[in-house]
Amino acid sequence: ALIHFESNSWKEAKACWYDFIKRYPKSPNRLDAQIYLGLTLNELGEKKAAKDLLQQIKSDIEDPTDKETVEQILKEIQWSVQR
């Protein structure tokens, strides 16, 4: 992982991921940061922002585990919206 948070401070994590993406737009870890940002947004209840971000980057993801993670988050968002 790029950054590890000891607590469940999702607001802090959100700020860090946005900052990383802004500071290092050409980083080879940018896609990972965007995935983690999507997860964080989802945890914060920002479902639409999480969904929009993850759908935007989904086609760029090559790692099978990352693809599975993103698909799972998108399914969770869809399920939570339907309830």
pLDDT above 80 for 1: no
The pLDDT assigned to 82 comes to 79
**Cβ(21)–Cβ(37) under 8 Å?**
yes
8-20 confidence digits (pLDDT tens): 689 999 999 999 9
The pLDDT assigned to 51 comes to 97
28-78 confidence digits (pLDDT tens): 999 999 999 999 999 999 999 999 999 999 999 999 999 999 999 999 999
**Rounded (5°) CA angle 37-9-82:** 55
